[in-house]
């Protein structure tokens, strides 16, 4: 395997960390929204924590290896191609939206942990925190941007 | 980058194949996380919930995604290597690993159901639970190997 092949392997593995990690976080968040007991919500949101690391590492690695690939691409793909620039812009935008959403969910998890230690009774305030509309919208838009990056990577609009 | 060497008219197939693969890996990770938490979190009262999530993730996400990547991967392979063309070894190895992993996922579902039934009666340990917890990481490792084969085409 050539250097380019290895770069492609690492780029793809990083993309799996980013996309699949985001899907896992979304599934666990959705499941947490459907529970009432704070201990169960804390448990499910707690499982999101390792995925945050996976998503972060995958996100940075996908960008880094992607840029590296453009330096050595046999098909002449360049960092200045329109679809590559669009993908990088979407990458920054997705990250900018996911950050605040993650902070809101961290507060929800911390609230759930406190309530779990304090009787573990259902709470409307906790339910509202877990189903925070702003966090949901930010996450949905951020994930849509990640899918848009994937579409650009596969279809490469404008590439020769 | 992902589609660097494929003609553009295959892109929809490749896109669907990739989406199924991303969903598959996500489903396996959910199974790994919930199974490990059920086994080792130190909160046995949550084991039935976690085992239920892992079981359903396997049934609803992992197994259907395995079927999807088989179908879409087969269609892509037929186009890239039409009848009579010899398939490269990396493709044969990838199909073999994926097929074995699919069978393992189906057997795992049966084991997960058994483990879930036991968890609901208060038995959160035992070889059934341990096996149902240790097999999913092996499936993930197999998928990583397939990704390396698919991307690197050694």
CB nearest to A154's CB, from B2, B147, B151: B2
B95 domain-assigned: yes
CB contact under 8 Å between B15 and A15, yes or no, is no
| Residue B1 lies inside a defined structural domain of this protein | no
- Considering CB atoms only, which of A11, A12, A31 is closest to B53? A31
Q: How would DSSP label each residue in A85-137?
A: HHHHHHHHHHHHHHHHHHHHHHHHHHHHHHHHTTT----HHHHHHHT-HHHHH
The ipTM, to two decimals, is 0.93
**CB atoms closer than 10 angstroms to residue A96:** 12
Residue A160 lies in a domain: no
What mean pLDDT is predicted for residues B25-50? 93
Of A5, A28, A40, the CB nearest to B152: A5
CB-nearest to A1 from B2, B50, B154 is: B154
Chain B environment of A74 (Cβ under 8 Å): 4
Nearest-angstrom CA–CA distance, B132 and B147:
24
Tens digits of residue pLDDT in A134-159 = 999 999 999 999 999 999 999 988 77
Cβ atoms of residues B134 and B104 within 8 Å:
no
Q: Tell me which chain B residues have a C-beta less than 8 angstroms from the C-beta of A151.
A: 15
Distance from CA of A49 to the nearest CA of B (A): 11
| Separation CA B5–CA A152 (nearest Å) | 15
Mean pLDDT throughout A18-23?
Answer: 96
Q: What pLDDT, on the 0 to 100 scale, is given for residue B47?
A: 94
Residue span of the structural domain in which A85 resides: 3-155
The pair of structure tokens assigned to A141 is: 């838009």
Count of beta carbons in the 10 Å neighbourhood of residue B85? 10
Classify residue A2 by its DSSP letter.
Answer: -
Compute the mean pLDDT over every residue in chain A, rounded to the nearest whole number.
Answer: 93
> b/e string for B117-141 if b means 16 or more Cβ within 10 A?
ebbeeeebeeebbeebbebbeebbe
- Asked if residue A53 is part of any domain, the answer here is yes
- The conformation of residue B87, written as its DSSP 8-state character, comes to P
* Number of independent structural domains in chain B: 1
Q: Decide if B85 is inside a domain.
A: yes
d(CA B64, CA B71): 11
Place of tokens 């997960």: B112
Question: Nearest 5°: phi and psi at A120?
Answer: 60, 35
- Asked whether B143 and B132 are in contact (CB, 8 A), the reply is no
Contact B41 A43 (CB under 8 A): yes
Q: Determine the 3-state secondary structure of B153 from DSSP.
A: coil
Cβ contact, residue pair B148, A9, below 8 Å? yes
Number of domains in chain A: 1
Does residue A132 lie within any of the structural domains? yes
Note whether residue B41 is domain-resident.
Answer: yes
Query: Is there a domain that residue B58 lies in?
Result: yes
Its domain, for residue B33, covers: 8-152
Contact B26 A20 (CB under 8 A): yes
- At A66-108, the pLDDT tens digits run 999 998 777 788 898 999 999 999 999 999 999 999 999 999 9
**DSSP strand E in B13-154: where?**
none
CA A56 from chain centre, in angstroms, equals 8
Does B107 reach chain A within 8 Å, measured CB to CB? no
């Amino acid at each position: 395997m050539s250097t380019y092949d290895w770069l492609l392997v690492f780029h793809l593995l990083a993309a799996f960390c980013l996309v699949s990690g985001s899907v896992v976080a979304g599934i666990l968040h959705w499941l947490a929204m459907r529970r009432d007991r704070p201990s169960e919500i804390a448990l499910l949101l707690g499982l999101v924590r390792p995925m945050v690391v996976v998503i972060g590492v995958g996100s940075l690695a996908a960008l880094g290896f992607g840029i590296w690939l453009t330096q050595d691409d046999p098909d002449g793909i360049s960092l200045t191609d329109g679809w590559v620039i669009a993908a990088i812009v979407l990458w920054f935008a997705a990250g900018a939206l996911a950050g605040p959403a993650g902070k809101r969910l961290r507060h929800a998890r911390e609230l759930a942990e406190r309530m779990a230690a304090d009787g573990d009774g259902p709470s409307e305030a906790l339910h509202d925190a877990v189903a925070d509309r702003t966090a949901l919208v930010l996450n949905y838009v951020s994930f849509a941007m990640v899918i848009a990056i994937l579409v650009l990577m596969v279809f490469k609009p404008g590439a020769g | 980058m992902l589609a660097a060497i494929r003609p553009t008219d295959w892109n929809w197939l490749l896109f669907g194949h990739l989406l199924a693969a991303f969903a598959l890996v996500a489903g396996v990770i959910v199974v790994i996380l919930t199974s490990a938490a059920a086994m080792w979190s130190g909160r046995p009262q949550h084991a039935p919930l976690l085992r239920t999530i892992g079981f359903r993730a396997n049934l609803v996400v992992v197994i259907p995604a395995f079927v999807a990547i088989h179908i879409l991967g087969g269609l892509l392979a037929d186009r890239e290597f039409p009848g009579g063309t010899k398939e490269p070894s990396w493709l044969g190895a990838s199909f073999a690993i994926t097929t074995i992993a699919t069978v393992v996922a189906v057997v795992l579902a049966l084991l997960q159901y058994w483990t879930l039934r036991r968890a609901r009666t208060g038995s959160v340990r035992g070889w059934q639970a341990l096996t149902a917890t240790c097999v999913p990481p092996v499936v993930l490792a197999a998928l990583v190997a397939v990704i390396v084969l698919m991307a690197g085409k050694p």
